């Protein structure tokens, strides 16, 4: 049966997967955004629903002061003896484990693991837990290392031992250990999470090694793919379905223009077969958009998002920067009120902003709001946010000359007012239509027709232009002021299709 990659679109890097019976659970990185580590569920591997976030309490993993593309990296999800475990790395603090026995409930507070390195993973066998990272036993070379741990406390129960040094691709990371048949397999990523990214594998008859590399490494990479349909493929995790078939989830990027993508790294699914005791990914180890594989359910059409703010609780798709201040937000009864604060995006704190991941390159986002500014510098509207110094905004803004609808573009130290028009009081609707090449900005006053404001290139919100950007574009609503104000922005609906 045919399916189309990516299976989870938009900013969803570093996927990890586990199966419990006929249910599949998947997590990805969330970096500086709260709530952290989005959690997805599927029963067929191609149709996924976000059912929550593993880090859903501000006190659970504080994200205050996290830098762009900092925060929580590369989670792994595993199930053992009735309990789900997620482990990940958090900037400046190290590796942690959280757990739950009810996948639909909140996860525990973190247990910190006394082992450095990034991209941690857990392997369970015979009642013991083993922890794997890219920690170095030998400082002069890259390697993947492992230690036995106490899963309840994070304390090491053994020394840290190096398992494998890879194939020399550099930036060795993302280790996962599996026992399949008579072999232990160690899956890793090399090459850096860019165009040289790859997945490599080694095996051993014993858990502690020695591990020998696959003669056909890398088993997944698009570094020589001249079609440029997919780039940066790597960082994978294996799972066996209930029918005995093997699969890999991995990250990859699709290009929006030239060699750039503003959606960032997304989650792909690859069929895996075995030859001579080694995994063969796809047909030729190259990530594909269109795949034929032994699926048992058809892939459904993309669903849109629509929020009416009827409830006080936030849906799991909403994200906030770092450590949000709850006093900035009031929602319920069909309204979301944002209280502007003099917190600017470049300050690495948390402005009054709520965002979601785009559904794809071709996407329309709309909102309706009422905002009556009080002081010059008060503004509210919609935002396309990549990181603190790369974002586009369409808003209602008060200036010394009056109130205006404004489109402002910021790319590092370049700031441009791309559109400005005087606007009267009353409800205002904002709309952004996106495609691979451009963002198109519209607004409407009251029940009037939409007016085209301007278009802007997607180039300057691409991860490659921002540089060392591990996240991707997010779209949402915000309110901002230059000094303390009594104005508030009321949003009544938000949709994305």
Give catalytic residue positions. Answer: 14, 173
Residue with tokens 């110094």: 389
- H or E, element range at 16: strand 16-20
Long-range pairs of 109-114 with CB within 8 A, sequence gap ≥ 24: 109/60, 110/60, 110/61, 111/151, 111/152, 111/153, 111/154, 112/154, 113/87, 113/149, 113/154, 114/154, 114/155, 114/156
- H or E, element range at 464: helix 463-466
Chain centre to alpha carbon of residue 352: 21
- Judged by DSSP in three states, 274 sits in strand
- Judged by DSSP in three states, 115 sits in coil
Q: How far is CA 173 from CA 115, 202, 259, 278, 449, in A?
A: 14, 14, 24, 20, 52
User: Which among 402, 298, 391 has a CA at the least distance from the CA of 346?
Assistant: 391
- H or E, element range at 50: strand 49-55
3-state SS record for 158-175: CCCEEEECCCCCCCCEEE
Within 10 angstroms of residue 214's Cβ, the number of other Cβ atoms is: 18
């Amino acid at each position: 049966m045919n399916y189309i990659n990516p299976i989870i679109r938009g900013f969803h890097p570093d996927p990890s997967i586990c199966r419990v019976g006929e249910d599949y659970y998947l997590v990805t990185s969330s970096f500086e955004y709260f709530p952290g580590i989005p959690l997805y569920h599927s029963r067929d591997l191609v149709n996924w629903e976000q059912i929550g976030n593993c880090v859903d309490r501000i006190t659970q993993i504080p994200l205050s002061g996290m830098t762009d593309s900092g925060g929580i990296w590369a989670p792994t999800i595993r199930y053992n003896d009735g309990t789900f475990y997620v482990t990940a790395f958090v900037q400046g603090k190290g590796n942690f484990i959280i757990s739950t026995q009810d996948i639909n409930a909140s996860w525990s507070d973190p247990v910190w693991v006394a082992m450095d390195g990034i991209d941690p993973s857990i392997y369970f066998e015979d009642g013991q837990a083993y922890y794997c990272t890219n920690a170095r036993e030998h400082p002069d070379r890259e390697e993947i290392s492992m230690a036995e741990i106490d899963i309840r406390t994070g304390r090491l129960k053994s020394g840290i031992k190096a398992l494998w040094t890879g194939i020399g691709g550099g930036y060795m990371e993302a280790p996962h250990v599996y026992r399949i048949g008579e072999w232990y397999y160690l899956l890793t990523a090399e090459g850096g999470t860019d165009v040289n990214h790859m997945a490599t594998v080694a095996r051993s008859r014993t858990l502690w090694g020695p591990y020998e590399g696959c003669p056909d490494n890398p088993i997944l990479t698009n570094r020589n793919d001249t079609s440029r349909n997919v780039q940066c493929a790597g960082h994978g995790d294996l799972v066996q379905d209930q029918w005995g078939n093997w699969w890999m989830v991995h990250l990859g990027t699709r290009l929006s223009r030239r060699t750039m993508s503003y959606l960032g790294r997304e989650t792909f699914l690859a069929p895996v077969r075995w030859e001579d005791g080694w995994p063969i990914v796809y047909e030729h180890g190259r990530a594909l958009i269109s795949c034929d594989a032994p699926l048992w359910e058809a892939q459904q059409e993309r669903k849109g998002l629509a929020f009416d703010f009827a409830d006080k609780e936030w849906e799991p798709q909403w994200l906030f920067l770092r450590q949000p201040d709850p006093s900035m937000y009031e929602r319920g009864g069909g309204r979301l009120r944002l209280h502007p604060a003099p917190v600017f995006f470049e300050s690495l704190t948390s402005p009054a902003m709520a965002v979601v991941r785009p559904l794809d390159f071709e996407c329309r986002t709309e909102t309706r709001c009422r905002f009556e500014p009080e002081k010059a510098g008060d503004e509210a509207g919609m935002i396309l946010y990549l990181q603190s110094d790369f974002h586009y905004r369409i808003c209602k803004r008060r200036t010394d000359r009056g109130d205006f609808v404004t489109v402002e573009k910021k790319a590092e130290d370049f700031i441009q007012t791309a559109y400005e028009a005087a606007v009267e009081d009353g409800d205002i609707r904002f709309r952004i239509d996106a495609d691979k090449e451009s963002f198109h900005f519209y607004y409407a006053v009251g029940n009037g027709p939409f007016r085209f404001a301007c278009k802007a290139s997607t180039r300057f919100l691409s991860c490659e232009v921002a540089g060392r950007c591990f996240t991707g574009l997010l779209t949402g609503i915000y309110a901002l002021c230059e000094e303390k104000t009594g104005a508030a922005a009321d949003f009544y609906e938000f949709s994305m299709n």
